[in-house]
Every structure is written in structure tokens, then in C-alpha cells.
Structure 1
Amino acid sequence: MSNKRTVFTEAALVAAVLTVGISAAEAARAAPIAASMQSAPDPRANIKIESRMQVERTETDASGTTMTKLYAPADVKVVPGDKLIIINAYRNTGATPVTGFVINNPVHSAVSFTEVSQKWAVVSVDNGVTFGQLGNLTVSTPAAAGTPISRPALPSDVTHIRWVFTDAIASGQSGELSFRGTVK
């Protein structure tokens, strides 16, 4: 398969991978606790996460008016350069408040991260090993002489996003967390 076709195929699969991957795998890993340490059900299991993606396009109508529209990936052909909004909707379905909740969201390899909507979110540029504010992170790149060169991290270096809830999520409380990216 040609590289161009691979990119188009991968771009088309981004929505499915992120939607299924985040809602199932990341929700399960959002607040892990060893079964041997649990004496009662963990209330963090009552936080339900639904992920969705929207494709943002700027269009001009017949009168020349430019407007931004959002589409479900299934409704348009997703191509490199498309702007994406990835949304994680959460809700506490339990009867008690939930504390210590964390959502880790990987950035798919076919997406280049551009920004996160919540200023309290932190990012990783090393596949989720360490997290911090983007302006405080660095990446090492190989140099011709073999000695790595450190440089400030860029949005395109982001591999994961993490939201750490400092306040309890009350029973019935819901909200949305989002970030933006561009299809590579």
C-alpha cells in the first residue's frame, strides 16, 4: 500500500480508534486499583466516559459568507489537514462523590495535537511517562555527533493528555473535556 493511501486509511480510522479506545481502554485505566487492595467497590468506577470526535471545517456559502461547521467523521471524508475536536464527556452515575479521578487520553499517531481546552490539563511528550505544562517540557533529538540535543517541546510532540480532578465529582455531575488536533 502506498504511503499516501496508508495516511488516508489511517486518517479515516482515527475516529473509530479514538472513540472506542478512549471510552473502553482509557476509562478502565483512568483510575486503576489492584483487586487485592479493594475492600469495597471503587466509586471511581461510577464515572462513565463517552468520547466523540468532530471534524471542523471552514466553508464559504454561495453569498460569500465564511462559517465554521462541525461534522461527525462518518458524515465527511476525513483527510490530512482536517482539524479535529476530541471530546470526552464524563458523568458520575453513582450515589456518592468521586475523588482522585484522572483521565489519561493518548493522542493517536495519525493526529498532531494542537491545544487542550482546559488550562488545568497536563500533557506528556514521552508516551505518558511524565506530565507537565507544555511550556515546561523538553524533548531530546539525536544530533549528527550522536549526542542528543534538548529543545523545548512543541504541540506536535504531545503524545498524551491528562486531566487530574482536584475537586470531587458530585453524584450526577457531568462535564466535557476536549482537545484539538490535526490529521497528519
Structure 2
Amino acid sequence: MMLRYGLCAAIAVATALPAFAAPVELVTKVLAEQRTAAKDGTTQIALTPAARVTPGDRIVYEISYRNTGSQPIGNFVVSNPLPKDVAYMAPAAGSPAPDLSVDGSTFGPLATLRVKGPKGDLRPAIATDVKAVRWRLAEPLAAGGSGQFAFRAMLK
């Protein structure tokens, strides 16, 4: 299966809007991890626009936000459901860890989440069980304030 950048970005932007009407600008980029071997034996990773990705490709979602209004915004939350063909891996380097959800409504650290096994018993959730990510700012977002959240994922 191939996933095009425009589809990923449209899903993320359409679903990442806060639950309140506020002057907030959100921009989502989906980037592909390009790995190359360096002469010293290490692996170099570069992020490039994800024009085309295939199963197994690693991607990074970057969600930038900005308060375009003249007043601070309290209780600022960015929530992003994952497309069904995208598996959450981890927060991206330099980004705070999001709260995670395996059902789209209950959020928390991965270690606290449980999912039903094939026989109906509960088991600890793993990263590939994640269905949504969410970040909450602890402080109000100042007028003109901005920032970015990001997470790593893999195309299933």
C-alpha cells in the first residue's frame, strides 16, 4: 500500500484542531526518514517530505501550532488520531512525549494502557496498539506564541 503525503497531512490537520473555537493555526508535515550509511560505519538519518511511502517506511509527523489571536489560550490541547495504516513508534527527538490512547478516548502513558486479547483478557498495550496521540500545554499559549509537537511512526 502506498500513502501519499497529502492524505496524511489532511487527516492530521482535520483532526488536530482543538475542541474550542480559537484563533489557532495548525500545520502538519509528514516526513520520511531516509537512512544512509556513512563512511565511518554509522547510519545517518535525514527527514524529507513524504511524497510516497510504502509499508515498513518510517515517518515523522510534525504538528506546528501558533496562536494567531491577541489573547492567551488556556487548556490548549492537540489531539491526533492515527490513520489505520500508521503504527506509532515514539516521540520524535526534541518533542515532548504525547499522551497515548488505544481506544481514542482514554489517554495516558503507554505503560498504563491495556487492550483486550483474543480471549477477552486484558494485556499491556504496546506501541502498535496506539490509535491516537495527544499533547496538552501546561501553561496558556500566549498571543503570537507557537511551538511544535512531533512523533515517529511506521507505515504498516
Question: Is this a same-fold pair by TM over 0.5?
Answer: yes
Give the counterpart of 1:171 among 143, 148, 153: 143
RMSD of aligned Cα (Å): 1.9
- Structure 1 residue 62: deviation in Å? 7.8
- Structure 1 residue 119: deviation in Å? 4.2
Structure 1 residues 132 and 61, CA gap change in structure 2 (3 angstroms): closer
**Number of aligned positions between the proteins:** 154
Tell me which structure has the larger Cα radius of gyration: 1
- Give the share of equivalent positions with the same residue, in percent: 32
Partner of 1:39: none
Gaps of 5+ in 1: 1-7, 33-41
Partner of 2:71: 96
**More helix by proportion, 1 or 2?**
1
TM-score (norm 2): 0.89
Structure 1 residues 65 and 48, CA gap change in structure 2 (3 angstroms): same
Q: Deviations over 1:4-39 (max 9, x none)?
A: xxxx2xx323x3222112223432xx223xxxxxxx
Partner of 2:80: 105
**More strand by proportion, 1 or 2?**
2
Structure 1 residues 108 and 183, CA gap change in structure 2 (3 angstroms): same
Tell me whether 1:182 sits opposite 2:139 in the alignment: no
Partner of 2:124: 152
Tell me whether 1:58 sits opposite 2:49 in the alignment: no
* Alignment map for 1:1-184 (pairs within 5 Å): 8=1, 11-13=2-4, 15-27=5-17, 30-32=18-20, 42=21, 45-60=22-37, 66-74=43-51, 77-117=52-92, 118-119=95-96, 121-126=98-103, 128-143=104-119, 148-184=120-156
Structure 1 CA distance for aligned equivalents of residues 27 and 88 of structure 2: 20
The code of the aligned residue for 2:74 comes to T
The code of the aligned residue for 1:21 comes to I
Preserved contact between residue 15 and residue 81 of structure 2 (Cα < 8 Å): no
Gaps of 5+ in 2: none
TM-score (norm 1): 0.76
